Structure 1
Amino acid sequence: MNKSRLYSIIKGVLISEKTTRINAFNTYAFSVLPNADKTEIKKAVEEIFKVKVKSVCTLNVQGKMKATGRHLGRRQDWKKAYVTLMPGQSLDSTNLQGE
């Protein structure tokens, strides 16, 4: 697989109340490309963060309808990936910066 493709799959790390709770279970949330599959996400996380991945769960998030004054708009749909690491592996704040 092309290295530039691997580095473009992971858009960013998601940080929220829920993601900080699941970090206790060695699981991290990422925003990923909508056309990326689980094997590509696994390879990308292993390559970028130098960790071993146990499993990947993905879900498509539907964009919300938003009103700006009289006009209605819609946010863009996006894809979220929950990545569980092998026991003993972790992502600390220095790993989350990427390379």
Structure 2
Amino acid sequence: MHVYEVLKRPIVTEKTMIATDEQNKVTFEVDMRANKFQVKDAVEAAFDVDVTDVRILVMPAKTMRRGKQIRIRQPKWKKAVVTLAPGDSIQLFEGV
């Protein structure tokens, strides 16, 4: 898998922005086939930073019910919480 296929998008929520400011952690949605080593290489190549730790979580699918039928509203996806080295940062929004 190519390094630019691993990262899909940054996850920008209130909780992830607090973690970015206080703990120097950045959260990304990643490809389901990616592992920790591929995520580390992709972040270092794309943003030119040093990565100290990567944590991977598989977020479960969201379902809905219509009578007896169960449908998948949103498929499962994988997210990675990347801890950057002290002094490094990733600017997701320039000038905001």
With normalisation by structure 1, the TM-score equals: 0.83
Backbone CA RMSD of aligned residues = 1.8
**Identical pairs, percent:** 33
Q: Determine the C-alpha separation between the residues in 2 that align with 1:52 and 1:66.
A: 41
Relative to total residues, which structure has the larger helix share, 1 or 2? 1
Question: Unaligned regions of 5+ residues in structure 2, if any?
Answer: none
Name the counterpart of 1:86. Answer: 85
Number of residue pairs matched by the alignment:
91
Q: Return the TM-score normalized by structure 2.
A: 0.85
Which stretch has the larger CA shift, 74-83 or 85-94? 85-94
Q: Does 1:21 align with 2:21?
A: no
**4+ runs deviating over 4 angstroms:** 69-72
**Equivalents in 1 of 2:36, 2:42: separation in Å?**
10
Structure 1 match to 2:31: 33
